[in-house]
Structure 1
Amino acid sequence: MHKKLYLRKYAQTRQWFNNIVNIGLTPDLSFEEARRVQIFNVMGMMGLLISTIFVIIHFSNDRVTLGLLNVVTMLSTGTVVIANYKHSYYFGQLAVSIALSIVFTATSFLYHDGMEFYLLLLTALMATIMKRSWFLRTLSIINCIIFLVLIKRSAEFYTPTPGNIYFVNLVLLVMFYLVFFRYSGKINRLYLANIEERNHQLRQQQARLIEQTEELEISNRKLAVLNSTKEKLFSILAHDVRSPIAGLKTSLDLLNEKALSRETFTELSHELSSQLDQLQDSMDNLLKWSNRQMTGIELQPQKIMIASLIADTIGLLQYNLANKNISINTSFDTDAMIYADPDHIKLVMRNLISNAIKFSYAGSKIDLLVEHRDSLVHFSVIDKGIGMKKDVIDKLFNEAAVTSQRGTSNEKGTGMGLKISREFAEKNGGQILIQCEPGTGCVFTLTLPVAASSQVVLPE
């Protein structure tokens, strides 16, 4: 019970002391100004308390002049606290410096009571804590000169104070120095800790800012590439989409106006059909690309036989094969299973085989090969067409480049097919490998993960 009471009293006293220390503090004060106010509040309250005691002692012992000088000390130390409360910080420092300089000089000169040492304490306060001004600097120099004079003087105008008073003054001087340096050191440590914390926060903010700047630069580069790609795609669409549709419309208009015979229209329809097939592939790639840009690639993987995907893809490209009289040779394990999104893989296969047809010569052949290697299935499309140089291959998957070569029969494309194919392959855990030689053909290989035996085959 007594312990709790003691702790409560201690907490109340500590709170009361903190309230005194923080008199006059405002949020807009700098650390140096706040430290100055706190130290002067402490020194002012101690000076007020001690000078009050000495006023009582000296008046009780008929030392009226010394008592009056202590009254001045009491008023000046109280003034500095009141000035801080009124936010007149410099006025309080100025008033207490002048008053105490006069009092310490007078009491030491008249009574030889050791107060000359307080001039040094006051000079230390003016040099380290008080606001820098020419007046206070001058006053501190004057105090130092007075101290040297008082140390050497021998004359006394009044009866010296008793030795115990001299001793008490020196003890109080030491106490003031201890309080001054201890509290000043504590505030400095808090200040350094605060600076370190702010520096730490600034370093974190700087790191976040650098990271955000890098992310912004990456986003800007991606946006620039995307805008460039879109501009090129719109340019391609403006030409390649309009041509086959315009040709078909013109042919139909001529047929309806009976300016074109059915036999001639039938001959033209083969060419128009070829152009529309190319247009369909191009539009499919562009739609997939647009969807990826807006929503990203969403996977719906399942366990599926690769043979069925190849068969579906070849079926879609029969007209292209027949139009150039190109044969397909297949060699693969019909039971090979992969785990991937079938729609994505069909698009990749269609692009790879379409490219092989596009760059193969009429009457040639294309080989489709499936090999099971460790945990991957390798699907290869091998043609004997015009091939590609290394610099052309390097541009195939470059996001900043949208280029399309014409095929052996002047076929057109958007240049987006292989880019989409690579992204879909990578999202499904695979990749596309290329081996080409100019004039001898290319080998495009799609690698995909083998389906685990525990994975369920879903219906197509």
Structure 2
Amino acid sequence: MHAYWNWLVGKKEDFTLEARIFHAICLAVMLCLTISVPINYLLQLPELCVVLTLFVLLTALLYYISRFKGRYKASVAVFQFFVAAALIANYYFNSGMNGPTYAMFLLTFVVSVVISPPRQYALWLSLNVALIAALMTLEWVRPGVIEQTYQDTTGRYIDLLFSYVALAAFAFLIAGYVRKAYNRQREELVAQAAALEEANHTKNKLLSILGHDLKEPLASLQGYLELLADFDLEEHERHDMNARLLTMTKNTSLMLSNILAWTKSQGHNFTADMQKLFVNEALHHVVELTKSISQKKEISFAAHLPEDLAVKADSQMLALVVRNLLMNAIKFTPTNGNIYLSAHLDGNTCTIIVKDDGIGIPSSLQNRIFSIDSGSRRGTASEKGTGLGLMLCKEFTAIMEGDLSFESAADHGTTFYLKLPAVTLPMIQLDQKQEDLETLQLWN
């Protein structure tokens, strides 16, 4: 019922709050007046029944034009004037000052305030007061002009009682809907403010990281160039200096890559390009890069990725996540350590595992390891990082509808588990790509 009601009044993504309130009022008016028609018929007020029926039909038409044709402003304007005309007719056919019409005028103004722009309040208040004052003055000056339609006091009692109950119920529904909508909008604003504050905190943290971590490699590069300009270095000194600068450059490049990827992911139109991918093929260049970097730190690296194992993922996101996990493993694994990359099928899930026997993650950091507030630890060879990589891995894994978890103990290494939806791909695709590669090599 809640979903059906939301469909009737319109989704908040498609309509303003005022438009949705107008739709709710139209529905409430149609319901109340539809009930009023048979009651007034039993009270022997056929003319009023006709007026109410016409008003129900016109309200339904205005609701349709606003809800399904998107002409909210035009519908509201017509609704206001037609309500005024209907109240004049109701005043005339329902005993004037002795009937319930004056209460309807008051409720009508409340409704006008709810559904109209603030700049129109004065217009509708003036019209409302002017109409009821003119009608009551006319009836007072010319007592016979308004016919008393009640047959007896019982009829008047029933009409006034029912009118009060209907108006009170209508006012309750409108006030409840407005208050609920206001509270929901206030909660959304509070959530947006919290998100904005978090984004601002993240931005400040990111700028601090950039300012701190870019300073060192730039200073090292400047110092190396000054040495080259002022001194003749030995070959082995040049070699050592080049190796350190290359490592710094790669770390800085990875840091900038992560920051750019995260910044892109914060855009409103950011989406994943989900495809069916062979894990071995999608991570081939990541494996080769890891081999190269791990060799320079004298770390043993082994990868076992079955050729027929496939997942549904974004190829760039998948590569970035696994690359960050492997670079973290290298960073926190000492010389002569071991890193393993593997993957296996577990039902409808493909689990990619990155395991190392390095220094592990301290228990004090494990609860916030996927947050930018986790901080950045130096690696076993004093490598630096931003603390952004694992947060990015977690966000991208969630975008790909996967899960990222870990197990770690101090001085006993860390194991990350990346779980993604598994799919089936015919091996002929892989065989064909291998044949194409062999043909290309033959031509070369």
Residue in structure 2 matching 1:312, options 279, 285, 290: 285
Whether 1:31 and 2:31 are equivalent positions in the alignment is no
Write the letter of the residue equivalent to 1:417.
G
Q: Distance in 1 between matches of 2:218 and 2:224?
A: 10
What's the offset of the Cα at 1:444?
Answer: 0.6
When residues 337 and 189 of structure 1 are mapped into structure 2, their CA distance, relative to the original with a 3 A threshold, is same
Alignment of 1:204-283 (within 5 A): 204-255=177-228, 257-261=229-233, 263=235, 264-283=237-256
Alignment of 1:317-332 (within 5 A): 317-332=290-305
Residue in structure 2 matching 1:442, options 397, 406, 414: 414
Q: Distance in 2 between matches of 1:341 and 1:86?
A: 71
Q: Distance in 2 between matches of 1:325 and 1:243?
A: 24
Structure 1 SS opposite 2:283: helix
Q: Distance in 2 between matches of 1:335 and 1:384?
A: 28
Kindly report the root-mean-square deviation, in angstroms, between the aligned alpha carbons of the 2 structures: 3.6
Whether the 8 Å contact between 1:402 and 1:414 is mirrored in structure 2 is no
When residues 430 and 178 of structure 1 are mapped into structure 2, their CA distance, relative to the original with a 3 A threshold, is same
What's the offset of the Cα at 1:14?
Answer: 7.9
Q: Distance in 1 between matches of 2:239 and 2:49?
A: 107
**TM, length-normalised to structure 1:** 0.61
Which residue of structure 2 aligns with residue 187 of structure 1?
160
Q: Distance in 2 between matches of 1:385 and 1:233?
A: 27
Which residue of structure 1 aligns with residue 115 of structure 2?
none
What's the offset of the Cα at 1:397?
Answer: 2.1
Whether the 8 Å contact between 2:403 and 2:418 is mirrored in structure 1 is yes
Alignment of 1:17-166 (within 5 A): 18=90, 20-21=92-93, 31=103, 85=134
What's the offset of the Cα at 1:11?
Answer: 4.8
Kindly provide the CA deviation profile for residues 421-447 of structure 1, in whole angstroms up to 9, marking residues without a partner as x.
Answer: 112122223211201111110111111
Q: Distance in 2 between matches of 1:441 and 1:306?
A: 24
When residues 248 and 34 of structure 1 are mapped into structure 2, their CA distance, relative to the original with a 3 A threshold, is closer
Q: Distance in 1 between matches of 2:165 and 2:48?
A: 28
Which residue of structure 1 aligns with residue 362 of structure 2?
389
Structure 2 SS opposite 1:361: coil
Whether 1:368 and 2:440 are equivalent positions in the alignment is no
What's the offset of the Cα at 1:332?
Answer: 3.6
Q: Distance in 1 between matches of 2:321 and 2:206?
A: 20
Q: Distance in 2 between matches of 1:179 and 1:455?
A: 90
Structure 1, 279-288 or 306-315: larger mean CA deviation = 306-315
Q: Distance in 2 between matches of 1:410 and 1:178?
A: 98
Whether the 8 Å contact between 2:279 and 2:305 is mirrored in structure 1 is no
Residue in structure 2 matching 1:424, options 370, 391, 396: 396
Whether the 8 Å contact between 1:23 and 1:84 is mirrored in structure 2 is no
Gaps of 5+ in 2: 1-45, 52-87, 108-131, 434-444
Whichever of the two has the greater Rg, that structure is 1
When residues 348 and 176 of structure 1 are mapped into structure 2, their CA distance, relative to the original with a 3 A threshold, is closer
Which residue of structure 2 aligns with residue 340 of structure 1?
313
When residues 85 and 344 of structure 1 are mapped into structure 2, their CA distance, relative to the original with a 3 A threshold, is closer
When residues 176 and 248 of structure 1 are mapped into structure 2, their CA distance, relative to the original with a 3 A threshold, is closer
Q: Distance in 2 between matches of 1:412 and 1:456?
A: 44
Structure 1 SS opposite 2:343: strand
Q: Distance in 2 between matches of 1:17 and 1:343?
A: 69
When residues 87 and 416 of structure 1 are mapped into structure 2, their CA distance, relative to the original with a 3 A threshold, is same
Residue in structure 2 matching 1:412, options 378, 384, 395: 384
Whether the 8 Å contact between 2:93 and 2:149 is mirrored in structure 1 is no
Kindly provide the CA deviation profile for residues 223-276 of structure 1, in whole angstroms up to 9, marking residues without a partner as x.
Answer: 211111111110010010122123213322442x24353633432121111111
Q: Distance in 2 between matches of 1:287 and 1:330?
A: 28
Kindly provide the CA deviation profile for residues 167-201 of structure 1, in whole angstroms up to 9, marking residues without a partner as x.
Answer: xxxxxxxx999534422431332232122112112
**TM, length-normalised to structure 2:** 0.63
Q: Distance in 1 between matches of 2:217 and 2:368?
A: 27
Q: Distance in 1 between matches of 2:282 and 2:104?
A: 77
What's the offset of the Cα at 1:283?
Answer: 0.7
Which residue of structure 2 aligns with residue 377 of structure 1?
350
Whether the 8 Å contact between 2:313 and 2:400 is mirrored in structure 1 is yes
Whether 1:288 and 2:261 are equivalent positions in the alignment is yes
Structure 2 SS opposite 1:380: strand
Gaps of 5+ in 1: 1-9, 36-82, 97-174
Which residue of structure 2 aligns with residue 355 of structure 1?
328
What's the offset of the Cα at 1:457?
Answer: 6.1
What's the offset of the Cα at 1:282?
Answer: 0.8
Whether the 8 Å contact between 2:360 and 2:412 is mirrored in structure 1 is yes
What's the offset of the Cα at 1:32?
Answer: 8.7
Kindly provide the CA deviation profile for residues 355-383 of structure 1, in whole angstroms up to 9, marking residues without a partner as x.
Answer: 11011011211111211111111111111
Q: Distance in 1 between matches of 2:190 and 2:221?
A: 46
Q: Distance in 1 between matches of 2:416 and 2:260?
A: 23
When residues 457 and 450 of structure 1 are mapped into structure 2, their CA distance, relative to the original with a 3 A threshold, is farther
